[in-house]
Amino acid sequence: MADASPLKQALERDGALLRLTLARPKANIVDAEMIAALAGALAAHGNTKGLRGVLLGAEGPNFSFGASVEEHLPERCAGMLASLHALVLAMLEFTVPILVAVRGQCLGGGLEVALAGGPIFAGRDAQFGQPEMKLGVFAPAASVLLPYRVNQPAAEDLLFSGRSIGADEARAIGLAQGVSDDPDAAALAYFDSHLAGKSSASLAHALTAARGAMLRDVRNRLAEVERLYLDRLMKTRDANEGLVAFLAKRKPAWEHC
């Protein structure tokens, strides 16, 4: 029987570090419950005095297979996108850096959550991808965030092809901060060396200064791509066919309309 909570939380390093762990292996699906748990954890700790960092990781062999496909269906996707995009903004606006440790698959909505954090520390087995196009849809949050993390051609490659890339390629294009056998240990070492000795108040102001223009753009662009997804993409026959075909475990039959 699965744990009642999809997310584990713990304050470590004498309250300086908040550990958040996706706790529904092996897929760690980013569904409505997981999104709510992450948003709630950030809201609960946004004013924690002395907090200097967050480490977001996952139980099991994979970071996340992505968002719930069922929640992408027409009758549910508006609520799913609104909550996911609110989480993305909450992560980008959080008062201290969010470090992300990735093992195994980090796909779709899982990668979108990782992109909303700070540096990504990849395990050697990590695989990153936005496979939404294989289902006839696009990745709204990643369409906005990926160009900020990698260059535009690399972002478009991942968004249009739907292919996955390994840890070394992710590092080469700037998606991953580093590659190691133990990404959690690497993220902790980064925290201990570069964040633990800082002032949490100063870190909060530094984040505001560094992300001001990006946040304004991301907020506007998320609203734009959300409208594009709901008002145009989901009115196409192929977007609905791709989702239904995936759930039925069959190959989609595109009609290009």
pLDDT tens sequence across 11-28: 999 999 999 999 999 999
pLDDT for the residue numbered 1:
40
Q: Is residue 11 part of a domain?
A: yes
Q: Tell me: pLDDT of 3 over 90.
A: no
% of the chain at pLDDT higher than 90: 96
How far is residue 187's CA from residue 100's CA, in Å, rounded to a whole number?
Answer: 7
pLDDT for the residue numbered 147:
97
pLDDT for the residue numbered 197:
98
pLDDT for the residue numbered 2:
46
Q: Tell me: pLDDT of 238 over 80.
A: yes
pLDDT for the residue numbered 72:
86
Q: Tell me: pLDDT of 46 over 80.
A: yes
Q: Is residue 196 part of a domain?
A: no
Domains identified in the chain, total number: 1
Q: Is residue 254 part of a domain?
A: no
Q: Is residue 106 part of a domain?
A: yes
Q: Is residue 36 part of a domain?
A: yes
How far is residue 1's CA from residue 116's CA, in Å, rounded to a whole number?
Answer: 30
pLDDT for the residue numbered 4:
76
Q: Is residue 202 part of a domain?
A: no
CATH of the domain at 45: 3.90.226.10
pLDDT tens sequence across 132-152: 999 999 999 999 999 999 999
Q: Give 7's pLDDT tier (boundaries 50, 70, 90).
A: very high
Structure tokens belonging to residue 161: 């092809």
pLDDT for the residue numbered 148:
96
Q: Is residue 229 part of a domain?
A: no
For range 191-214, the mean pLDDT: 97
Range of the domain at 101: 7-183
pLDDT tens sequence across 66-91: 999 998 898 889 999 999 999 999 99
Q: Is residue 193 part of a domain?
A: no
